[in-house]
Amino acid sequence: MLRFDTIVGDIPYLLLGIPLTLGITAVAFVVGILIALPIAVVRSASVPVLSSIVRLFVDFFRTTPPLMHIVWAYYALPVIADIKLDAFTVVAGALACSAAAQMSEIFRGAIVAVPRGQWDAGQVIGLSYGQRLWWVILPQSLRLIYAPACNALVSLLKQSSLAAVIALPEIMNRGWLLAAQNFRPIEVLTTIALIYFVVTWPLALLAAYLERRSGFAFRSD
């Protein structure tokens, strides 16, 4: 028989994991963007050799699970390269690389979607490639980026629960510890699911709103 009343007093303990969950998500998202943007620029410009290298990076992190990245970086790096990173850095870094691979495709698609005439117009008035990209192309591509980037943020927030496997005390890890103590895993996991829903639902609604707005913007052009 389910007894949710037995864990009511433990909910504050679970909620203490929210700041760490949000911290992992925020760092991974920002770092992911900083990695993704130059990758998108290189790939959209088809830079020889460098384009192939960054494509390999993107393909690797898009086709391998984030859990593997986390476990490998945390346990294998100290053995192979004598590099010992703290758990937060490992999780945020691994998720940032996965997010960068995903968001680089979003950014590249947005850059390519800008009409070729915009590039040509910038060249006619004497702008360099970098100036055209920064002042002409990127501002126009932003409206295509907002909604997918927000969806990527939601995915990152959920993936932050993988930090539990290396004992980082975010929401999921606290839930595992609590379930091991009170032997109420169903009640604990259900409560955790509700916490994640409350945290991520506003972001999902924002992504849907931005998607509608971006679609309207292009239909009205």
Residue 46 has pLDDT above 90, yes or no: no
> Could you tell me the CATH number of the domain that includes residue 42?
1.10.3720.10
Rounded Cα gap, residues 106 and 145, in angstroms: 7
Structural domain containing residue 8: 4-219
Q: Give me the pLDDT at residue 220, please.
A: 37
User: What local confidence, expressed as pLDDT, does residue 210 receive?
Assistant: 83
- Per-residue model confidence (pLDDT) at position 118: 81
- Looking at residue 136, what is its pLDDT? 85
Query: At 81, phi and psi to the nearest 5?
Result: -120, 5
**b/e map of 9-29 (b: 16 or more CB within 10 Å)?**
ebeeebeebbebbeebbebbb
How many domains does the chain divide into?
1
- C-alpha separations of 154 from 6, 148, 204 in Å: 30, 10, 7
Identify the three-state secondary structure at position 174: helix
User: Residue 213: what pLDDT?
Assistant: 77
The 10s digit of each residue's pLDDT in 4-23 is 888 999 999 999 999 999 99
